[in-house]
């Protein structure tokens, strides 16, 4: 286990029989996402995440906001990026997110909204932090990998689609083989992620 307590806590587990995944990735903007012209609306701050650009000392920051137009029947989370001074704003319709075929941006919106309504993992750093721990653990074990180094981290964040349900279940299988009491908390949080994803798929 590796614990990195710079900006956040990060766990990494690896098993001896890890292998490179043959999973096929797809790219494209989801029907849950609408790019907004004219800037973001006033709203409630939900969360912040940073995306490192591999090979460069660059971190991209983005905010999740709950705009005034969001309702219980049609919850919407706005993602706001100011990459290189170029502001981009996206509306994410939470009920249209499919965790079995979703981008990281959609999952950031979903996790941020889940924390707001009490359906998250209960992580100190938010549900999206749990999501990232599971993704990092999957990568360490060869369950997922970058598809194309020519595609920027920001583009991958917006458009790369992954089956996060299957990925989370695979990581849970790995964690359950580790005899470490500290892992139980991460397993419990993973089960909460599965419950969140299941709620999305059952609507």
Taking only the tens place, the pLDDT of each residue in 7-58 is 233 344 444 343 333 344 455 556 788 888 866 667 899 999 988 766 666 7
Q: How far apart are CA 44 and CA 167, in angstroms?
A: 31
The per-residue pLDDT for range 87-119, each reduced to its tens digit, is 889 999 999 999 999 999 999 999 999 999 999
pTM greater than the 0.85 cutoff: no
Six-digit token string for 109: 């919106």
Beta carbons of 93 and 84 less than 8 angstroms apart: no
Neighbours of 82 (CB within 10 A): 13
Give the neighbor-by-neighbor strand order of the sheet with 86-93: 33-36, 86-93, 76-83, 58-67, 43-53
Q: Is the pLDDT of residue 4 over 60?
A: no
Query: To 10 degrees, the CA torsion angle through 59, 42, 8, 12?
Result: -80
% of the chain residues with pLDDT over 70: 78
Q: Is the pLDDT of residue 203 over 70?
A: no
Q: How far apart are CA 174 and CA 179, in angstroms?
A: 11
Residue 11 domain-assigned?
no
Q: How far apart are CA 88 and CA 189, in angstroms?
A: 31
Average pLDDT, the chain: 81
Task: Give the confidence band of 148 by pLDDT, cuts at 50, 70, 90.
Answer: low
Six-digit token string for 67: 């705009």
Beta carbons of 75 and 65 less than 8 angstroms apart: no
Residue 10 domain-assigned?
no
Q: How far apart are CA 69 and CA 71, in angstroms?
A: 6
Residue tagged 């990925």 (tokens):
167
Length of the chain: 203
Q: How far apart are CA 37 and CA 19, in angstroms?
A: 43
Neighbours of 72 (CB within 10 A): 6
Beta carbons of 47 and 108 less than 8 angstroms apart: yes
User: What is the span of the domain harbouring residue 83?
Assistant: 26-202
Residue 90 domain-assigned?
yes
The total of structural domains in the chain comes to: 1
Mean pLDDT on 134-161: 82
Beta carbons of 65 and 126 less than 8 angstroms apart: no
Q: Say what the pLDDT of residue 149 is.
A: 67
Residue 6 domain-assigned?
no
Residue 148 domain-assigned?
yes
Q: Say what the pLDDT of residue 40 is.
A: 63
Residue 1 domain-assigned?
no
Q: Say what the pLDDT of residue 100 is.
A: 95
% of the chain residues with pLDDT over 90: 51
Residue 9 domain-assigned?
no
Residue 20 domain-assigned?
no
């Amino acid at each position: 286990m590796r614990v990195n307590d710079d900006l956040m806590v990060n766990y990494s587990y690896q098993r001896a029989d890890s292998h490179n995944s043959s999973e096929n990735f797809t790219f494209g903007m989801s029907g849950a996402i609408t790019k907004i012209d004219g800037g973001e609306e006033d709203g409630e701050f939900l969360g912040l995440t940073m995306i490192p650009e591999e090979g460069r000392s660059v971190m991209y920051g983005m905010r999740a906001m709950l705009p005034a137009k969001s309702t219980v029947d049609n919850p919407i989370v706005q993602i706001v990026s100011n990459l290189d001074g170029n502001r981009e704003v996206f509306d994410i319709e939470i009920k249209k997110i499919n965790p079995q075929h979703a981008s990281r941006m959609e999952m950031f919106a979903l996790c941020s909204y889940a924390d707001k309504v009490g359906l998250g993992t209960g992580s100190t750093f938010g549900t999206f932090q749990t999501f990232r721990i599971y993704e990092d653990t999957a990568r360490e074990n060869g369950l997922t990998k970058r598809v194309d180094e020519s595609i920027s981290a920001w583009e991958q964040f917006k458009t790369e689609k992954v089956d996060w349900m299957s990925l989370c279940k695979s990581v849970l299988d790995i964690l359950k083989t580790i005899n470490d009491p500290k892992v139980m908390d991460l397993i419990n949080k993973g089960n909460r992620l599965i419950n969140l994803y299941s709620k999305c798929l059952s609507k």
